[in-house]
Structure 1
Amino acid sequence: MPFPDTYPALTRALQARGYEKPTPVQEAVLEPGHEDRDLLVSAQTGSGKTVAFGMAFAPSLLEDSGKLAPVSSPYALVIAPTRELALQVQSELTWLYAETGARIACCIGGTDARREARSLERGVHIVVGTPGRLCDHLSRGKLNLSALRVVVLDEADEMLDMGFREELEQLLDAAPEGRRTLLFSATIAREIASLARRYQKDAMRIDMGAGQKQHSDITYRCVVTAPHEIERSLVNVLRYYDSPTAMVFCNTRLLVGQVQAELLERGFASVAISGEMGQNERSRAIESLRSGIARVCVATDVAARGIDVPALGLVIHASIPSSSETLLHRSGRTGRAGRKGTSVIMVPFNQRRRTERLLGQARINAEWETVPTAEMIAEQDAKRLLEDPTLTEGEVSSNEMVKMLVERYDAQRLASALVNFYTAKLPKVEQLRPVSLEAPARRERGDRNERGERGERSKREPRSYESSGAWFRLSVGRQDKADPKWLVPLICRIGGVQKRDIGSIRIQQDQSFFQISEDKVERFNSCRAGAEHDEVSIEPASAPPEGKGPARGGNRGGAPRSRGPRSSEGRSEKRDKAPSSRKRTGGSRSGERSSRRRS
């Protein structure tokens, strides 16, 4: 069905933006009989909720002429959980109400509160904002809600999860009792229902069945990778899918910085968004993403809601989401308003079971795959080049330059030049060894068995590395202040092993030696070959030469230390030196006491 033509100004605005018919949630809230009622709406992210409530509260705001008269205090209040979502709502309502004369103010943290206050004092019809800043203006007397006709709670579940219940109640208590209350939420949990019962009257419940339809336009994929290669694997995933715009989500600000630096180094046009950034920085980053200046946005969950980029076709979870709700809201940045999208979860092989539980809780069926190899990416590049509109749809030119090139060079030379021009602008691909998709499940079962066996073995016999482990040499020694405290984490990171897999560590003057248990040697060599470790060099070695320095570190993983002859030499050397040292010290002190007595 088409949009109702009750208010021609809104209908023209929708047509100008390319809206031909309402989405399901828009159609539901615009049904006849809902004009004056409170609404409790459950709908998925990206379903067109902003236009839905913008159209729904039009009867409460517009005059018969379809215009809005000047006012001293607002008619509508829209509360959103994040700054980005509030700005997006303001932007959507601005074009929707462009012909009505509506004045719309946005009140959010990170911006000039005095400028917002001046805007409120001049008179606005609609106020959009975050709970904290709105309450600040309310308590300072800058926000007058006495004439309010409608209140909208957008993403109410998120606001409650973020701890804004008191602020919401303060705002709702300050609003007139006769106003309409429109509550939009992804799910109607117990707290949402409680809030609705308290602040809504005879509300119409609209459930769009988000649980059944929320994944229909999003393809979910899980990419299994080594834990220490997440960032390098991420580079290949971005290159393989090559979306015009992509978002990469990380769980911490620190990881955002690391991933952003890695992408910039590889040649990706990217921006970053995290909580410590000012609002102006965040707004510029989002705008560069929308305009196409940047193709990748690396962000914390602060951007999981409120960013709507039409060309956003790819979402990557560089960190496994903390909950199924976070997974859905992150992924909801793509596959919006009928467009298709892809959501990729980067899964370290030792966190596969956790990821499977997360997918089960979110009722998502995902495809499992390995990290795209350089060969796979090259095939995709060739396919994209052959299907490039410049070749398939562009007009064949006959100007002089084209004629000169055709006359001077043969077809192979021209094709080679075209390929070189095309690939020169592409970011560098990482050379990675794929991780087996079957290995993680067996590994987890094996780890449990190994832990059980290890517990019994530790009671019965020590685990000796001297006879069964393999030795490796590090290019740092005592002169480089080598110490097991930082050598062990370095070895684990580069070799993809754990502390318990490391045996003896022998630190010498200009180099160090360490052992890896025999059952982990193959894995250590595989990870070592594919890892970047410019700070040191690691190479296989025979047992360290005798007499080159004392043993250091031992088995840092907790297994019993080997009692080989090398260690006993080191202990003997210490015992031999200690008495002479004490004698010299004691003699010196005796001489000092004698000297004092003589003086």
Structure 2
Amino acid sequence: MPFPTLPAPLSRALTERGYAEPTPVQAAVLEAAGGGRDLLVSAQTGSGKTVAYGLAMADLLVGAEDAMPAPAAPLALVIAPTRELALQVQRELAWLYGPAQGRVTACVGGMDPRREARLLAGGSQIVVGTPGRLRDHIERRALDLSTLRAVVLDEADEMLDLGFREDIEFILSATPKERSTYLFSATLPKGIEALAERYQRDALRLAVKSETRGHADIAYRAVRVVPREIEHVVLNLLREADAPTAIVFCNTRNAVRHLQANLTERGFSAVGLSGEMGQGERNAALQALRDGRVRVCVATDVAARGIDLPSLSLVIHADLPHDAEVLQHRSGRTGRAGRKGTSVLLVPNARRRRAEQMLAIAKVVPEWCGPPSADTIRALDAERMLSDPLIAEPPSEDDAVLAQMLLAHKSPEEMAGLLARVYRTRLPAPEDVTDPGEGRSRPERAPYDPMNAEKIAEMGPAVWFRLNLGRRDNADPRRLLPLLTRRGGLDRQEIGAIRIFDRETKFEVRGHAAARFAESFARNGSPEIQVEALPPDFAPAPRKGPPGGKGNGSPRADKHRRNVGKGGYKPQQRG
């Protein structure tokens, strides 16, 4: 289905970007946005929602002359939870409204607020920012919201999870009452519904479902690896794909530094992204990727949040994701808005069962295979050689003069051999790697199926999970219960014992609800908060507390566990 009638400048921008037809969320929003009606939209990241709300408010921003009014106080405001997402939105709206002479300004933490204030004073039709920085500009009278016609809350559930409710309410209270409000959220918990009820008028609710079986435009591969050869396999995968842009995920900053240095030493143009980098360094790295000066990005999960690189076609998980939600978040950096992509997991034999569980929860069926061999890559190099610009482009006059000089001293066969050597020296040499599954006669195990009732019955009355929040994160049952029930789609009675440790929490979910909980938790909420199903035979022995204390083996702890399903949660008092 083609795009409906739009202002001419926006239609031209879409055509130049290769948009032939709208994504499901864009089609739903455009159909419902007539007359500036408020919208409450449930849609996943990577579905094209930025362009969706950019088009939805077009009639409010672009005049009859097919151009926006001269830049002054903003006409539209977009609020996003993170710096990376806000900057991504700013870039998307800049190209979309560029032909309409639109000016889009970003206001985010980590950047110079005085420079942002000067840009706002110079006038902008659209402002995009994070809640804290926008509130700061409003309080300093640098941001005038009196002329707003449209407000967008992007990833509203993330903003509430990150504690921005007060800032959001402050900003919305400063906007005109006669405005259109578009609220986008992956999930619609009670906090989002309360926000919509208070700040929207007769909002139309749209639930745009993404496919539960992974993203249709992403091909998944699970590659068997020997742990000590992981970096060599990453190199071979990059050489095999020859992707214009690729991202390699690691779980720690140290792993990012080590792998990025290794790839650079081997001849790849690579940058690293991790939480220890400043915003300026991140922006420079991302710009190098967009410009094509760098083709490989090595990143942690937190640093890569909100990244949108149009040419990104390959994602490699050098370290296994913590859970299915992180897997989908990482893989979703590619295969966006109709583009094709590949997601490759590197799986040592010792972690295969965990990888199978994660893929099953994510509703992904990968192609299992060994790593690409050095011989395979050399064969690909031979096929690609004739299409390489070094050989495909016709020689210039200067090249012809040098060629005649060389032919006077070398035979054509020698010249061809020299050319092949020059071609090879421009490419990182492939590595000899091992397929740990090759030549083994053991039968393939059936993949883990979280919805198989017989398997759940075998696991017993409860399934244990691990959560990456502990005492150092101020975790207590009163805080954890709403998180687990909302994201996991459970009733309180379906959660059993909870054991809180320094860096993690282990808890039970009743057997018949475990699969539903795992799937729901993986789909919803922030990827920084992760759960992992523990092995079916996991059953921690009661710990004995100090005499008269409240250890897990004490009578008071047992009483707490018995009261889990009765709403009797009381956080422990610490002296």
TM over 0.5: yes
**Cα distance in 2, alignment partners of residues 417 and 112 from structure 1:** 53
State the 1:286 CA deviation.
0.9
State the 1:23 CA deviation.
3.5
Q: SS of 1:31's equivalent?
A: helix
**Cα distance in 1, alignment partners of residues 440 and 79 from structure 2:** 48
Q: Does 1:423 align with 2:424?
A: yes
Any conservation in 1 of the 2:214–2:364 contact (CA below 8 Å)? no
Letter in 1 for 2:426: K
Give 1:290's aligned residue: 290
State how 1:515-526 maps to structure 2 within 5 Å: none
Give 2:475's aligned residue: none
State the 1:218 CA deviation.
1.0
Give 2:275's aligned residue: 275
Per-residue Cα deviation, 1:364-404 (whole angstroms, up to 9, x for no partner):
11112223232232222223225546656868999454455
Letter in 2 for 1:334: T
Q: SS of 1:30's equivalent?
A: helix
Letter in 2 for 1:107: C
Give 2:52's aligned residue: 52
State how 1:453-468 maps to structure 2 within 5 Å: none
Q: Does 1:38 align with 2:38?
A: yes
**Cα distance in 2, alignment partners of residues 362 and 416 from structure 1:** 49
Identity among equivalent positions (%) equals: 53
Any conservation in 2 of the 1:304–1:329 contact (CA below 8 Å)? no
**Cα distance in 1, alignment partners of residues 205 and 421 from structure 2:** 59
State the 1:266 CA deviation.
1.6
Q: Does 1:118 align with 2:118?
A: yes
Any conservation in 2 of the 1:227–1:350 contact (CA below 8 Å)? no
State the 1:108 CA deviation.
0.9
Letter in 1 for 2:328: L
Any conservation in 1 of the 2:213–2:362 contact (CA below 8 Å)? no
Letter in 2 for 1:424: T
State how 1:175-324 maps to structure 2 within 5 Å: 175-188=175-188, 192-193=192-193, 195-212=195-212, 215-324=215-324
CA RMSD of aligned residues (A): 3.3
Give the structure with the higher percent helix: 1
Shift in CA distance, 81/230, structure 1 to aligned 2, threshold 3 Å: farther
Q: Is the deviation greater in 404-413 or in 290-299? A: 404-413
Letter in 1 for 2:427: L
Shift in CA distance, 32/173, structure 1 to aligned 2, threshold 3 Å: closer
Any conservation in 2 of the 1:312–1:333 contact (CA below 8 Å)? yes
Shift in CA distance, 252/190, structure 1 to aligned 2, threshold 3 Å: farther
TM-score normalised by the chain length of structure 1: 0.67
TM-score normalised by the chain length of structure 2: 0.69
Per-residue Cα deviation, 1:401-427 (whole angstroms, up to 9, x for no partner):
445555654454233222211111112
Any conservation in 1 of the 2:213–2:364 contact (CA below 8 Å)? no
State the 1:70 CA deviation.
4.7
Shift in CA distance, 432/11, structure 1 to aligned 2, threshold 3 Å: closer
State the 1:154 CA deviation.
2.1
Letter in 1 for 2:417: S
**Cα distance in 2, alignment partners of residues 92 and 74 from structure 1:** 17
State the 1:27 CA deviation.
2.7
Give 2:24's aligned residue: 24
Any conservation in 1 of the 2:235–2:431 contact (CA below 8 Å)? yes
What residue ranges of structure 1 are gaps of 5+ in the alignment?
446-599
What residue ranges of structure 2 are gaps of 5+ in the alignment?
447-575
Per-residue Cα deviation, 1:546-598 (whole angstroms, up to 9, x for no partner):
xxxxxxxxxxxxxxxxxxxxxxxxxxxxxxxxxxxxxxxxxxxxxxxxxxxxx
Q: SS of 2:205's equivalent?
A: strand
Shift in CA distance, 13/371, structure 1 to aligned 2, threshold 3 Å: closer
**Cα distance in 1, alignment partners of residues 150 and 173 from structure 2:** 13
**Cα distance in 1, alignment partners of residues 210 and 266 from structure 2:** 38
State the 1:271 CA deviation.
0.8
Any conservation in 2 of the 1:224–1:437 contact (CA below 8 Å)? no
**Cα distance in 1, alignment partners of residues 229 and 163 from structure 2:** 36
Q: Is the deviation greater in 26-35 or in 398-407? A: 398-407
Q: SS of 2:36's equivalent?
A: coil
Letter in 1 for 2:223: V
Any conservation in 2 of the 1:82–1:302 contact (CA below 8 Å)? no
State how 1:59-70 maps to structure 2 within 5 Å: 59-70=59-70
Per-residue Cα deviation, 1:39-61 (whole angstroms, up to 9, x for no partner):
23344444432222111112222
Letter in 2 for 1:13: A
> 4+ runs of 1 displaced by more than 6 Å?
395-398, 437-445
Any conservation in 1 of the 2:269–2:294 contact (CA below 8 Å)? yes
Any conservation in 2 of the 1:371–1:435 contact (CA below 8 Å)? no
**Cα distance in 1, alignment partners of residues 276 and 224 from structure 2:** 31
Shift in CA distance, 362/161, structure 1 to aligned 2, threshold 3 Å: farther
**Cα distance in 1, alignment partners of residues 388 and 24 from structure 2:** 35
Per-residue Cα deviation, 1:429-482 (whole angstroms, up to 9, x for no partner):
33333322798999999xxxxxxxxxxxxxxxxxxxxxxxxxxxxxxxxxxxxx
Give 1:104's aligned residue: 104
Per-residue Cα deviation, 1:48-88 (whole angstroms, up to 9, x for no partner):
32222111112222333334335753221112233222222
**Cα distance in 1, alignment partners of residues 164 and 315 from structure 2:** 28
Q: SS of 1:328's equivalent?
A: helix
Q: SS of 1:358's equivalent?
A: helix
Q: SS of 1:77's equivalent?
A: strand
Any conservation in 2 of the 1:352–1:441 contact (CA below 8 Å)? no
State the 1:243 CA deviation.
1.2
State the 1:192 CA deviation.
4.5
Give 1:433's aligned residue: 434
Q: SS of 2:375's equivalent?
A: helix
Give 2:73's aligned residue: 73
**Cα distance in 1, alignment partners of residues 303 and 358 from structure 2:** 21
State the 1:336 CA deviation.
2.3
Letter in 2 for 1:41: V
**Cα distance in 2, alignment partners of residues 98 and 368 from structure 1:** 45
Q: Is the deviation greater in 397-406 or in 141-150? A: 397-406
Per-residue Cα deviation, 1:276-315 (whole angstroms, up to 9, x for no partner):
2222211111111111111101112244343332321111
Any conservation in 2 of the 1:77–1:152 contact (CA below 8 Å)? yes
Letter in 1 for 2:423: Y
State the 1:269 CA deviation.
0.7
Letter in 2 for 1:90: Q
**Cα distance in 1, alignment partners of residues 116 and 396 from structure 2:** 55
Per-residue Cα deviation, 1:9-47 (whole angstroms, up to 9, x for no partner):
322333344444433332322226633112233444444
**Cα distance in 1, alignment partners of residues 33 and 105 from structure 2:** 30
